[in-house]
Structure 1
Amino acid sequence: MSTAADAPTEPDPERVAAALAETDFVRVYARPTGDALAAAGVLARGLAGGNTAFQVRTTRDAAVPDGDGTALALGWTAPNATAIPTGDRPVSAVVAAVVDALGAEPDPLVGLAGVVAAGTAPGDGGSGSLLEEAERRGVVDRRPGVAVPTADLADGLAHTTLVRTPQSDDLDDAGALLDALGVHEDPDEDGRRRLASAVALDATDGAPDRSVAAVERALRPHATPTGPFATLEGTADVFDALARERPGLGEALALGADVVVAGVVAIRDHVAGVHPVLADPTTGRYDGVFVARVAATPAEGATLPAAARLVRDFASPEPLAVVVADDTVAAAVLGSTDATAALRAGVEATGADGDRDVIGDARTGDARFAGGDVQAFIGGFREALG
C-alpha cells in the first residue's frame, strides 16, 4: 500500500527567510489550494513591507519557469526552486514563520484563512501566534452559529463546501430552514445555536461516524468584522474555490484587492458545480476505498477536489474517497494512505495519450487525463493501494 511515510520534510523558516532576504525579486508559485494561495498572500504582504518586489502565480506545472530572482514553490516541491511543501503544518503557518523571521508582521486573517483551508483548526498546526494576534487586533471573534462566507445566512448556507446538507446549492431550502427555525438576519446567540444544531443534524443524518467531527469545522465560526467575508471559515472556503476555479482572482484577494463581490459570485458558481455532481453518483466500495463515478466535463474538473472531500467526510464508509469522471479525478483520505501517489499509479494505468497531470499531497490530490480509460484508472488506483 502507498503510504505517506515519505512526506516532504518541513523547511526551516529561518533558512527560507535568509534566502529571500538576499534577493531583490521573488517569484512565488502556489499550488491551486486555498492554503497555498493564502500563504502566497501572507508572504507577498510581508515582502511588500520590506520593499522586495514579487510576482505571484498559481500553477499546476511540474517545474517553475526560468526567470530572475528567487523562485519559491508553495504547497509543492519544485526541482528548481526553494520549496515549502504541504506537510504536517499548513503552508500558511510555515510562511507566517518565514515572514516573522524576515522582520515583518504576517497578516493574521489571511494566514488563518489558509490554515482553515488546509483542514486545520485555527490555533493548531503552528498557527497559535496568528490566532493570538488576530484576537488581539479584534479581527476574529468566535461565536455560536454556522460558518458561511456571506452576511446573508440563506445565501451562505446554500453556498458553502464546508458541509453537505439538503440546503446545499438550494437557496429556497436554505430560506425555508431559517423560517422554520425562526432565525433571520443578525440572529441572537440562541438563534445561532438553533441553526447550528439543525445544520449538524442534517449533515450527519445517515452519514458515517466521521461526519460528526467533520461538521464541527462549520460550527462555532470565527466572525471577521473587518474582513472581506463574514467568517474566517467562509473566507477559507472562498480561497479554496478561487484557487481551483479563478486563480487570478484568488491572487488578487490574497494580495488585498477589493474583490468581495466577485469572490461571492465565484463561490456560488463553485458550489453550483460541487454539490450537483454528487446528486446521483454510481458508487463502488472496495477494501479501504469508496469510489463515486460522476458525470462531469473537463471544465467541471475543478469542482472534484471539494466533492471528494465532502464524500470522504459525509458519505464514504471507507477512509479514502475517490470521485472520478471521464477525464478528471480527485481523492481525499484520512489515514496513512498517500492519496496522490495512488492517483499517479491510476493515471499511468489509463494509458492516456493526451495531456495529463497529477498534483496534491498525502491527504488530497487530483488528476487530469485526456483520453484515458476510467475503468483502467480504478484498477490501477486499487492496485497501488495493495
Structure 2
Amino acid sequence: MSTSGRTGDGNASAASDVAAVLGESAFVRVLTRADGDCLAAAGLLAHALREQGVPYQVRVARFGATSEASAESDDTIVTVGLDCAADATLESDATPASVTAFDAANELEASPDVTLALAGVIAGGHPPGAGESAHLLESGGFEQRPGVGIPTDDLADGLAHTTLAHADYSGDAGAVQATLAELGLPAELDESAHRKIASEFALATIDAPQANARAADAVERALRPHETPAGPFATLEGYADVLDSVARERPGTGVALALGHEARDPALAAWRDHAQAAHAALAEGTTGRYDGLFVLRTEDAPVETVARLLRDFRSPEPIALVVGDGVAAAAASEDCGVGATMSDAAGATEGTGGGTARRGYAEFDTDTKEFLGAFREARR
C-alpha cells in the first residue's frame, strides 16, 4: 500500500473505502483507541483479514497516540477512533466504529460476528439497533428481556461490578448480595423477578444522595438487556461492559477477546478489577466544583471510566474531569471541544493528549494541581 494517500485530518472512511484498502493490502497495522467500540471494530477487521489470508497486527492506544509508521513503510495503516496518519480511518462518535467495521467485513465477503459488533455499539454509548446499527440487530435475532445487562449469571457479581451505572453499593458484592436477599427472589428468575431487580438497581442509582439529574437517563443503558445465548457473555450489554473495561485495564487481553481467542475468564477478572477501582474512586475521591466543571482527584484509578461515570451519575456540571497521578480524563454531556482542551492542557504540562468534542484523555509530567490549572486555562 502506498503511503502517499495517508492523512491525519480525522476524515472518516466509508465502509466500502475501508474494504477497498484492506482488499489490496499485503500487511495491515490496526491502531485502535482503548475503548469497547473501537476494540470491537478492530476485532471485526482482524477477523475479516484472517479470512482473507492477510497478516495483521493490532495495537491499542489512547488519545494522543501516533501511528508510528515510517514514511517509507509499505504496510497498510488503519486507525480506529484516533486521529493519526493512516490509509483508512474509522471514526466512532456519530457512527459506531463497530458498525463501519462490520459493513466493511461484509464488503470483503467475510463473516463478521454480529454479537461482537452490537456489543461494540453499546460500548460506544449507542442504543443497539438505533440508527445505522438497525441492520445488525435485525440480523442477530437477539431477545430483549426485563432486568439489568450484566455479563455473568451471578447477579451479585454482575450488579457489583457493572460500570454501566454507579450506585452506593457498586463495587461491593457482599452489599449487593444483602440487598438481593431482601427482594425474595425465586431460585429460577422469571420476568417478574427480573423487573424487580431492575427497579431496585435503578432506584439505588437514582436515589443515591449525590446522584445528579442525568442519572435517571444514564441508567437506562443498563436496563432491558438483550440475551446472547451463543455469545461469550450473558447479555449484549454485559459484553459491552467487559469490552470497554478490558480495553483500558488489560489491552492485550482485550485484543485476544475481540479476536475470538479463549479469553473470557481473564477478561472477567480484568472487568472486576477495573470496576472496583472505578467505583472506589467515585466513592472516595476528592471533588471540587468550578464554573461548568466538576473535578475529582484520585491517586490510582481508571480515569476514563471514572470520568464517564462521574459525568453521568454525580457531576452537577456539564464537564467532569478526573485527575490522577500523571493521567487525566474528561467527559462532557454536550459537544464543547473537550478533546482540544485536553490537548492544550497536556501540551502546557509537558504531556500528550487529545480526544473528541465530548471526551478527552491526557498524560502529563507535572502535579495534579498544575494540570488542573492548565485545563481550566485552556477552557477560557
In the superposition, the TM-score normalised over structure 1's length comes to 0.90
Whether the 8 Å contact between 1:30 and 1:73 is mirrored in structure 2 is yes
Q: What stretches of structure 1 of length at least 5 have no aligned partner?
A: 1-6
Q: Give the drift of 1:184.
A: 5.5
**Secondary structure of 1:309's aligned partner:** helix
The residue aligned with 2:184 is 182
Question: In the alignment, residue 173 of structure 1 is paired with which amino acid?
Answer: A
Determine whether 1:78 maps to 2:84.
yes
CA 1:81–1:280 in 2, change beyond 3 Å: closer, same or farther?
Answer: same
Question: In the alignment, residue 375 of structure 2 is paired with which amino acid?
Answer: F
1:233-276, Cα deviation, whole Å (9 max, x unpaired): 11111111111111111111101112111111111111121111
**What does residue range 251-262 of structure 1 map to in structure 2 within 5 Å?**
251-262=255-266
The residue aligned with 2:104 is 98
The residue aligned with 1:114 is 120
In 2, Cα distance between the equivalents of 1:83 and 1:9?
Answer: 7
In 2, Cα distance between the equivalents of 1:8 and 1:88?
Answer: 13
**What does residue range 4-43 of structure 1 map to in structure 2 within 5 Å?**
8-43=10-45
Question: In the alignment, residue 151 of structure 2 is paired with which amino acid?
Answer: P
Question: In the alignment, residue 34 of structure 2 is paired with which amino acid?
Answer: P
Q: Give the drift of 1:100.
A: 2.0
Whether the 8 Å contact between 1:203 and 1:211 is mirrored in structure 2 is yes
CA 1:287–1:64 in 2, change beyond 3 Å: closer, same or farther?
Answer: same
**What does residue range 279-358 of structure 1 map to in structure 2 within 5 Å?**
279-296=283-300, 300=301, 303-350=302-349, 352=350, 356-358=351-353
Determine whether 1:381 maps to 2:375.
yes
**Secondary structure of 2:197's aligned partner:** helix
The residue aligned with 1:276 is 280
1:145-167, Cα deviation, whole Å (9 max, x unpaired): 00111111111011111111122
Question: In the alignment, residue 236 of structure 1 is paired with which amino acid?
Answer: A
In 1, Cα distance between the equivalents of 2:355 and 2:188?
Answer: 39
**Secondary structure of 1:292's aligned partner:** strand
The residue aligned with 1:3 is none
Q: Give the drift of 1:102.
A: 1.8
Q: What stretches of structure 2 of length at least 5 have no aligned partner?
A: 1-8
Q: Give the drift of 1:173.
A: 0.8
In 1, Cα distance between the equivalents of 2:117 and 2:187?
Answer: 28
Q: Give the drift of 1:338.
A: 1.7
Q: Give the drift of 1:291.
A: 1.0
In 1, Cα distance between the equivalents of 2:75 and 2:348?
Answer: 39
Q: Give the drift of 1:383.
A: 2.5
**What does residue range 47-196 of structure 1 map to in structure 2 within 5 Å?**
47-60=49-62, 61-66=65-70, 67-135=73-141, 140-183=142-185, 186-196=188-198
Question: In the alignment, residue 174 of structure 1 is paired with which amino acid?
Answer: V
In 1, Cα distance between the equivalents of 2:328 and 2:117?
Answer: 29
The residue aligned with 1:201 is 203
In 1, Cα distance between the equivalents of 2:246 and 2:285?
Answer: 25
The residue aligned with 2:364 is 369
Whether the 8 Å contact between 2:17 and 2:88 is mirrored in structure 1 is no
In 2, Cα distance between the equivalents of 1:244 and 1:168?
Answer: 19
Whether the 8 Å contact between 1:75 and 1:85 is mirrored in structure 2 is yes
In the superposition, the TM-score normalised over structure 2's length comes to 0.91
1:26-80, Cα deviation, whole Å (9 max, x unpaired): 2211111111110011111122223322222212432233455311111112124
CA 1:47–1:125 in 2, change beyond 3 Å: closer, same or farther?
Answer: farther
In 2, Cα distance between the equivalents of 1:77 and 1:186?
Answer: 48
1:111-144, Cα deviation, whole Å (9 max, x unpaired): 1111111111101241111111111xxxx32110
In 2, Cα distance between the equivalents of 1:237 and 1:341?
Answer: 27
1:154-198, Cα deviation, whole Å (9 max, x unpaired): 110111111111221111111111111122554110010011001
Question: In the alignment, residue 314 of structure 1 is paired with which amino acid?
Answer: F
Q: Which moved more, 1:190-199 or 1:93-102?
A: 93-102
The residue aligned with 1:360 is 355
Quote the RMSD (CA, aligned, Å).
1.7
Whether the 8 Å contact between 2:296 and 2:322 is mirrored in structure 1 is yes
